[in-house]
């Protein structure tokens, strides 16, 4: 399956491949993600206890504090960033966090067609889903 989106950040990265972990709910990096491990800590999130480290992290939109960008940077400093982030709509906090943390970010992606465990390949504005 082929999906298209809008690449916002991909610094010097031509292609990204990885396994999807998909949150059904908006994510706040301040409070929902442990910056030391990359594990989802929000008990109400369907990914509770799952790590985003080295995964393609899909979630509809970010929510919450501007400190979330710095939490993303802390994930970077701790070696716990996702391979990429996919959003339906990226907002400023996640976009800034992705830029300062060197995380590839794509939005305008139809997340309804993705599920946790799928393998994907991101190249430019195209997302190839291996089924």
Q: Set out the domains of the chain in order of their start, with CATH numbers.
A: 2-130 (3.50.30.10)
Beta carbons of 38 and 77 less than 8 angstroms apart: no
Backbone angles phi, psi at 18, to 5 degrees: 180, 180
**pTM for the predicted model, two decimal places:** 0.95
**Average pLDDT of span 49-71:** 96
pLDDT of residue 14: 79
Q: Helix H segments across 1-131?
A: 29-32, 68-77, 92-101
Between these two residues, 81 and 11, which has the higher pLDDT value? 81
The answer to whether residue 101 is catalytic is no
126-130: strand order across its sheet: 2-4, 126-130, 119-123, 15-22, 56-59, 84-87, 105-107, 6-9
Whether 55 has a pLDDT exceeding 80, the answer reads yes
Q: pLDDT at position 64, please?
A: 80
First CA to last CA across the chain, in angstroms? Answer: 7
| Active-site residue identified among 23, 28, 65, 101 | 65
């Amino acid at each position: 399956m082929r999906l298209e989106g809008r690449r916002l950040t991909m610094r010097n990265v031509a292609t990204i491949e990885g396994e999807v972990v998909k949150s059904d709910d908006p994510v706040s990096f301040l409070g929902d993600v442990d910056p030391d491990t990359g594990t989802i800590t929000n008990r109400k999130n369907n990914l509770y206890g799952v790590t985003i480290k080295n995964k393609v992290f899909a979630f509809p939109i970010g929510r919450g504090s501007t400190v979330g960008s710095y939490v993303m940077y802390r994930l970077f400093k701790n070696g716990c960033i996702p391979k990429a982030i996919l959003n339906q709509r990226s907002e400023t906090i996640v976009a800034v966090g992705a830029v300062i943390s060197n995380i590839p970010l794509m939005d305008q992606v139809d997340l309804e067609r993705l599920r946790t465990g799928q393998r994907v390949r991101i190249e430019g504005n195209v997302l190839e889903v291996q089924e």
